[in-house]
Amino acid sequence: MTWRTCMTETQRGSHGDEQGLEALYGWLERAGAHHPKLRVIRLPGGERGVFTLADVAQGEVVLRVPRECLLTTGLARSSEIGRLLESHLEAESDELYLAAFLLQEKQREGSFWRPYLETLPASVPHSLLFLEERELQLLQGSAVLEELEARREMLHTQHALLRAHIPGWASLTATEFLWACVVVSSRNFGVKLRGNPVRCLAPLADMLNHKTSPDVHWGLSEDEESFEMVALKALPAGQEIHDSYGAKSNHRFLLHYGFVLEDNEHDELVVHLGIPEGDPWSATKQRLLELSSPSERRRFQSRLPYGHESTQEMFSFLRIACAEAEELSRLSVTPGASGGQVEPLSIANEERVLAALGAACEARLSGFDTSLEEDERLLAEEPSSRSVRNCILMRREEKRLLHAYAERVRTGARLLRKPWPELEQLAAGGGTGGGPLDDYAREGVLKAVRNDPWNRLERAARQGHHFGSVALGPRSKSKGPGR
């Protein structure tokens, strides 16, 4: 196949005009699709949304797309371009197969998928991959730039391989390839077909916008012959209906979908942590943490709730990285070898953990060109474009999370200096004062105090137990509370 530029063709048919949408509706209905109460409407600002034409009952199927109209990874792999990718590149990426299939079908005269292709967006200007350098400069200090660079490198490699090894694709431009990749990345659904995970593009379903509390849930029908969206609640006529794109961080939303959420409860702190420089037990810690070298710094993406798996993983890593010899000897599990949670080892260890985490947060904050207050002001002044707003909002939300973690460090450090009986009284009274950091105060600080060897001996002595010649003299100042 000889490659022809497809951007003009894409732009001509992708503005979401009524003619293109009516062709999509007709194509779907001829194949047996069901969506009598849904229509796509252009929103202020040029975006599209899916709205109800009539009242919808809870549990009602609002959209049914037959298998014939689902563009699945299996279909893409079995196509002409799919076979070429497998034989020439031994490609594994599902998204690459789907993107290449889109590009192939855009070239194919009389493609079955033409009505769907004609309604895909002409361009994706809000994707990080297409932002201008002056816009990317607004993200200075943001961890998303690291992810963007990795994604750019991967896609550049894939594009070069396609041009070099797929017959007829030597003239494929980077813009065309990136367009297809962004379309697939932002619109595909993950379903299970005959028990196997499958990625697919579902026409019309992929036009719903995101909301954290969605109006519908989706998946394959029981007989797996169609993709269905079912109303989670009653919906009045004339309302936009929303899907959920999943519990994702703002990094993922901006990188793959081109938007950022305010107050995203699933947002993640990104920090790089490692063994302290010059640590005398670095070799042991390197082995326990499965690092390639004592100087390696591991990247963590952790949510604010202390009980979340990602947060537990970060704290477990730090407790080993900051441990002294006696603390290392008392480890029952290690996060590297078993994936197990390392509970607080001692008061002094937890203080070192908090100090390391606080330093990492301060280092991240110092990398930004603006303060949190400046970002708040810029957002209040209504940025000049959606892309500019996305960048400012992204860095503001990162700073908010960094400040929240810094407050956790300060609160934890204060509580660790309290005598353990006082902390126990606070716990018995229902917490340590309330607030969003209370989960760490209970599960981190209190366990550090309870697990501290000195406090264990003191509690045992008060309960009448004896430990031979062990003396319960004054506590070393390095051991924590009581001062």
What CATH number does domain 269-479 carry, 3.40.50.720, 3.40.640.10, 3.90.1420.10, 3.40.1110.10?
Answer: 3.90.1420.10
Q: Which residue has the higher pLDDT, 337 or 379?
A: 379
| DSSP-based three-state secondary structure for 220 | strand
Predicted confidence band of residue 429 (pLDDT cuts 50, 70, 90): low
pLDDT in tens, 171-209: 999 999 999 999 999 999 999 999 999 999 999 999 999
pLDDT in tens, 300-321: 999 999 999 999 999 999 999 9
Residue located via tokens 């003396």: 471
Look up residue 479 and give its DSSP letter. Answer: G
Distance of alpha carbon 196 from alpha carbon 187, whole angstroms: 20
Q: Which residue has the higher pLDDT, 443 or 37?
A: 37
Q: Which residue has the higher pLDDT, 49 or 433?
A: 49
Q: Which of 64, 55, 38 is nearest to 218 (CA)?
A: 64
Q: Which of 277, 234, 242, 241 is nearest to 261 (CA)?
A: 242
Residue 133 above 50 pLDDT? yes
pLDDT in tens, 79-131: 999 999 999 888 789 999 999 999 999 999 999 999 999 999 989 999 999 99
Helix (H) or strand (E) holding 71: strand 71-72
Q: Where are the alpha helices (DSSP H) in 370-462?
A: 372-380, 386-416, 420-428, 438-440, 446-451, 453-462
Least confident span in 20-29, 149-158, 468-477: 468-477
Provide the residue ranges of all domains of the chain, joining segments of one domain with +.
7-246, 269-479
Residues 324-330 have a mean pLDDT of 91
Q: Which of the listed ranges 13-27, 113-127, 414-428 does the model predict with the highest average pLDDT?
A: 113-127
Tokens of 52: 């109800």
**Percentage of residues of the chain with pLDDT beyond 70:** 87
Residues forming a β-bridge with 240: 51
Q: Which residue has the higher pLDDT, 15 or 106?
A: 106
| DSSP-based three-state secondary structure for 379 | helix
Distance of alpha carbon 227 from alpha carbon 191, whole angstroms: 9
Residue 337 above 50 pLDDT? no
Predicted confidence band of residue 421 (pLDDT cuts 50, 70, 90): confident
Q: What is the pLDDT of residue 456?
A: 55
User: Dmax over Cα atoms in the chain, in whole Å?
Assistant: 90
Q: What are phi and psi of 49, to 5 degrees?
A: -140, 160
Residue 165 above 70 pLDDT? yes
Q: What is the pLDDT of residue 13?
A: 39
Distance of alpha carbon 400 from alpha carbon 386, whole angstroms: 21
Residue 275 above 50 pLDDT? yes
Average pLDDT value for the chain: 87
Q: Which residue has the higher pLDDT, 464 or 444?
A: 444
User: What number of other Cβ atoms are within 10 A of residue 46's Cβ?
Assistant: 9
Residue 436 above 50 pLDDT? no
Predicted confidence band of residue 464 (pLDDT cuts 50, 70, 90): very low
Q: Which residue has the higher pLDDT, 321 or 341?
A: 321
Residue 284 above 50 pLDDT? yes
Question: What is the fold of 7-246?
Answer: set domain protein methyltransferase, domain 1 (3.90.1410)
**Strand segments (E) across 194-239:** 196-201, 209-210, 216-220, 226-231
Residue 470 above 80 pLDDT? no
pLDDT in tens, 391-418: 999 999 999 999 999 999 999 999 898 8
Residue 385 above 60 pLDDT? yes
Q: What is the pLDDT of residue 475?
A: 34
Q: Which of 333, 329, 336, 332 is nearest to 275 (CA)?
A: 336
